[in-house]
Each structure stands twice: as structure tokens, then as C-alpha cells.
Amino acid sequence: QNAPNSTLIVDANEGWTPDQVEPLSTALAQHGVALIEQPLPAGADALLSELSHPVPLCADESCHTTADLEALATRYDCVNLKLDKTGGLTEALQLATKVQELGLDLMVGSMVATSLAMAPATLLAPQARFVDLDGPLLLKQDRDHGLHYEGSLLHPPLPQLWG
């Protein structure tokens, strides 16, 4: 009620069992959840292509680079791209392109990291349906000239961030 324009995402963090996917997804759909991240453990998610899920599913731990995508395209509806997983911006850009070619949605996410680590991911945000770049907000102290957040808005990095 307090944030009517919010989009709800549930991160199961590999914690569900296969028999939980259908009933939990159905219940979450009734509450307006837009996306479920990584319901099953990475490497044990092949069953997702056979299970009904009214809420779209997003690969997180199951996808690191473009090499992982082909197997995931029938299991997931979305991919959470994190620069820490891809190894950097070059592979992240290639992964984003391939995700879109496969007709999947893109989420740009983050680990807990400084604004310097997060700033390159802001280049991918315009391509993404979902953006979760709050890593610097989870730190006790970020670096000088860090990213500026205003409510749910993230402003582009200032040149001073780069040192």
C-alpha cells in the first residue's frame, strides 16, 4: 500500500525444492510478484523447463557467461547479469546481447561492492527490464565520489569516481 508503483521480486537464492516451484509461484503471482530469482540450485535446475510457474523465473547463480545461456533458455525467462560473475564489462556486454537474441528478459544486478565496481553496470541498465544496483548502499562506507542514489533512482557516475 505504501509503494503502489513498486515492482516486487523474490530471490529464492537456490533455496526451493522442485515440488515447491509450482505452488509458491502460484501464491506469489496472486500477490503481484513480477519475478522469482533462482528458485533451484544451480546445476539442479533442468526441471524448471517442465514445471508450471505463473511468475517468470530469473537465472542468477546458474548464469555466469554466454557459455551458460543455451542450456538456460528453456528453463528461465530472464537472466540476472552481474559484472562480478561475468568477469567484466566485455563479457557482460556480450551476455546482454545474447540474452536479448534468445528473447529473454535482462536483469542487471550486483554483489555487495563499491561504487567503482558498480559504475560499469550502469551502462547496461538501459537495456534491462529489472535493475538492482544497490551494492554500495549495503556497505558501511563507500568510496569518495560514489554513485548518487535518490530514492529508487540511480544517477550516472561522476567523472571523479574514476580517480
pLDDT tens sequence across 26-54: 999 999 999 999 999 999 999 999 999 99
pLDDT value of position 152: 83
Helix segments in 31-136, DSSP class H: 69-72, 83-86, 89-101, 115-118
pTM of the model: 0.93
Phi, psi of 32, deg, nearest 5: 80, 15
Rounded Cα–Cα distance for residues 3 and 57 (Å): 23
Q: Is the pLDDT of residue 151 over 90?
A: no
pLDDT value of position 139: 96
Task: Tell me the residue type at 86.
Answer: T
134-161 average pLDDT score: 93
Q: For residue 1, name the pLDDT band (cuts at 50, 70, 90).
A: low
Q: Is the pLDDT of residue 75 over 80?
A: yes
Rounded Cα–Cα distance for residues 111 and 90 (Å): 18
- Helix, strand, coil shares of the chain, percent, nearest 5, are 40, 15, 45
136-149 average pLDDT score: 95
Least confident of 15-19, 71-75, 151-155: 151-155
96-100 average pLDDT score: 97
pLDDT value of position 38: 98
